Amino acid sequence: MPEPVCHYDRKIISVEEYEDLLALETNELVATLAQKYLQWENPYQKVLDSSNAPFYRWFNGGKLDIWQNTIGKHLRTTRRNKAALMWIGVDGRERVYTYHMLAYEVERLAMALLNLGVQKGDNVLIFTPNLPETIVTMLACAQIGAVHIIYHIAHSSESLAERLQDCKAKYVITADSCPQTAHILKEKVNDALDRIDYKIKHCIVIERTGERVHMQPHRDLWYQDLVTDENFSKGAKVDTVRAANDPLFMLYTSSKTKTPKAVVHNAAGFLMWAQFTTELLFDMDDRDIFWCTADLAWITGHTYGIYGPLSLGSTVFIYEGSITYENTALFFDFLDRFHITRMFSNPALLRSVMRAKNSRRYEAKSANSLRLIGCGGGEIKADLYHWVLHTLPKEGKIPLINIWGQTESGGGLMANVPGTVGSKQNTRLRPLPGVKCRLVTKKGETIDACDEPGFMVLTSPLPSICSDLYGDTKTYRSIYWDKFKEKQYYSTGDEAIAVQDGSYILTGRSDIALSIGAGNRKIDEVEATILNHDRVKECAVVFIDHPTYGYMLLAFCVLHSYKDESHNADSLQAIKEHIIEESGELALPDAIRLTKFLPKTPDNVINRPLLKEISLQMEGL
């Protein structure tokens, strides 16, 4: 296909300003961004303290008011009565919050949490759907100095218990249930709390569906009762000033560790990078409506669904559920009704929309309100790229911005920044200002040649990168900083090739993960879970491209013994239930096939390329 032409004129950070930022060294750039995007109560003494590398400390001596740096600053401007959040539930319920209304809700909950005994540094685990109360809780925790930890509701109660046991959260926020799942969330939480070896202080429950749930007296409280009781929602003294290196939140990730660990993101570095990359990549002004389709439980939801756009004063659209092939009509309905102009999504979601729109049912639908789409979490193939530019809108073309970042990085690290690469757009990635990348061999030797694959590393730290793994400093050092001996490189775990024009093409993760709309499914973790079942002798998991769903995850299992069809059917059901119980619904493959043997190479290694070919044939692709 010929390379398309898609002109884009930037509104906020001009091409000239962008090129000036690219020319700055990392520390000089960080100092510039810190003055632009952060309001300081006490000025910092030094941009970077590397005396205890790799435990870098940014903005030493600096203090900032978290409230003023997120919501508070807008209350003194005309944005006070501007819509901050536009939310719609899977059952059609709708709510709109102006910045003033959002501030009111955050302040009420912050007071209530303080009166309940929540202190600075306490861990608060949030196990809720994508609700306005979820966002209010995040911002309230940030305001009072508590560390919020959001965990996705699709995970099992056992998995939730493991995280609680690890972080020792004293407070849990959940909902009674949610319309999009058959599981009652409060029952999951109750089961998880029965599994841990300590007692939490309080569990706060948001009434979402009205489902009858068991509430333990004194421990469990209804959210609405708490924030409307003046004995709790008023009177507390709130100190919103934090040291620059105080933790803001934690997120659990298993991308590079055998057991899930929580990455710690600090206040100043994360807030600065979230605002800078949101403004640079999505180029929003006060007229734009922004929709980040990622769940709030993922780093994308944190950075580009909440902290980045809200700190900049943007209007954010939130959908409680997920967009799939089956409910594609909602995608176009939301665009039209809410006049969404900027979006951050993923290739799997866009591919499912593409497939649906190509059918007769949706062929008249369009996305004329959209002016820009950011995309991360997977490869953007040529057919999807051209479809977004030429077919998704009825008129004109929509720039499709390829963005690469990680949970650990706190935001985007590389992208094809709109309006800065010339008129010819492509999905090749270029490092953002301040990001110093390099490709190296397994021994850490620099790869200078183009088109030669290597491991992607960062040669200098960034303030947005996680500062530690909670409770496991040794693993933090070994996984991220000590991969290449005598080299102070940050290991991303991704592989790439360099292109002659200075851009990069990612070729995959060194610890294969599949990104879907709801999050990441790790192939090796799914395999390990299935192999843990007593009926399974061998297992191999592969993923294939699918024209309807974007991707499919398929598991091939060899049982210890084959008896008859009823035994096989019973085994399939038992394996599925085992996966959900051990790892949650997110880990469930799209299909599980029982086979008498797995194809092997002469070295007795499972032949995964052949399994992929078999999978494609079985799916008729």
Give the fold, CATH level 3, of 513-618.
Answer: GMP Synthetase; Chain A, domain 3 (3.30.300)
Please enumerate in sequence order all residues whose Cβ is within 8 A of that of 451, keeping only pairs 6 or more positions apart, or say none: 497, 498, 499
Residue 75: band (very low, low, confident or very high) from pLDDT cuts 50, 70, 90: very high
501 or 546, greater pLDDT = 501
76-85, 245-254, 279-288: least confident range? 245-254
Task: State the average pLDDT over residues 367-376.
Answer: 89
In angstroms, the CA 388 to CA 440 distance is 34
Terminal alpha carbon distance of the chain: 22
163-177, 339-353, 565-579: least confident range? 565-579
Asked if 590 contacts 554 with a C-beta cutoff of 8 angstroms, the reply is: yes
Task: State the average pLDDT over residues 409-413.
Answer: 96
How distant, in Å, are the alpha carbons of 74, 314, 344, 576 from that of 340?
21, 12, 11, 38
Predicted confidence (pLDDT) at residue 2 exceeds the cutoff of 50: no
Tokens of 470: 């909670």
Tokens of 15: 């091409």
Asked if 109 contacts 126 with a C-beta cutoff of 8 angstroms, the reply is: no
pLDDT value at position 516? 45
Helix/strand/coil for 330? helix
Within a 10 A sphere around the Cβ of 547, how many other Cβ atoms? 13
Task: State the average pLDDT over residues 194-216.
Answer: 95
Task: State the average pLDDT over residues 579-607.
Answer: 78
Asked if 335 contacts 370 with a C-beta cutoff of 8 angstroms, the reply is: yes
3-state secondary structure 378-428: CCCCHHHHHHHHHCCCCCCCCCEEEEEECCCCCCEEEECCCCCCCCECCCC
563 or 144, greater pLDDT = 144
Q: Where are the domains of the chain?
A: 100-243, 426-509, 513-618
Residue 378: band (very low, low, confident or very high) from pLDDT cuts 50, 70, 90: confident
Predicted confidence (pLDDT) at residue 255 exceeds the cutoff of 60: no
CATH 2.30.38.10 fits 426-509, yes or no: yes
In angstroms, the CA 28 to CA 521 distance is 38
Of 45, 491, 604, 83, whose CA–CA distance to 317 is shortest? 83
Predicted confidence (pLDDT) at residue 423 exceeds the cutoff of 50: no
Please enumerate in sequence order all residues whose Cβ is within 8 A of that of 358, keeping only pairs 6 or more positions apart, or say none: none
**Is 57 buried (19+), middle (13-18) or exposed (0-12) by CB count in 10 A?**
buried
pLDDT value at position 334? 95
pLDDT value at position 91? 92
Predicted confidence (pLDDT) at residue 257 exceeds the cutoff of 90: no
pLDDT value at position 596? 84
Give the fold, CATH level 3, of 100-243.
Answer: Rossmann fold (3.40.50)
Residue 389: band (very low, low, confident or very high) from pLDDT cuts 50, 70, 90: confident
Domains 100-243 and 513-618 share a fold: no
pLDDT value at position 114? 96
- pLDDT tens for each residue of 509-545: 544 544 444 455 667 778 888 988 888 888 888 877 6
- Percentage of the chain surpassing pLDDT 70? 90
How distant, in Å, are the alpha carbons of 292, 412, 465, 509 from that of 493?
25, 15, 14, 6
pLDDT value at position 276? 98
pLDDT value at position 617? 77
Residue 367: band (very low, low, confident or very high) from pLDDT cuts 50, 70, 90: confident
Q: What is the mean pLDDT of the chain?
A: 88
Predicted confidence (pLDDT) at residue 65 exceeds the cutoff of 60: yes
Task: State the average pLDDT over residues 501-514.
Answer: 68
Cis peptide bond N-terminal to 418, omega within 30:
no
The DSSP call for residue 432 is P
CA of residue 579 relative to chain centroid, distance: 22
| CA gyration radius, the chain | 24
Residue 505 pairs in a beta bridge with 497
Q: What is the DSSP string of 122-137?
A: -EEEEE--S-HHHHHH
In angstroms, the CA 319 to CA 220 distance is 27
pLDDT value at position 503? 87
Asked if 401 contacts 373 with a C-beta cutoff of 8 angstroms, the reply is: yes
Residue 318 pairs in a beta bridge with 87
Question: What are residue 69's phi and psi, to 5 degrees?
Answer: -85, -5
Task: State the average pLDDT over residues 406-421.
Answer: 90
**At 197, which amino acid appears?**
D
- Percentage of the chain surpassing pLDDT 90? 58
pLDDT value at position 584? 75
Residue 467: band (very low, low, confident or very high) from pLDDT cuts 50, 70, 90: very high
Specify the pTM.
Answer: 0.84
pLDDT value at position 1? 40
Residue 399: band (very low, low, confident or very high) from pLDDT cuts 50, 70, 90: confident
3-state secondary structure 33-98: HHHHHCCEEECCCEEEECCCCCCCEEEECCEEEHHHHHCHHHHHCHHHHCEEEEEECCCCCEEEEE
96-100, 151-155, 470-474: least confident range? 151-155
The kind and range of the H/E element at 336 are helix 328-338
Task: State the average pLDDT over residues 247-258.
Answer: 76
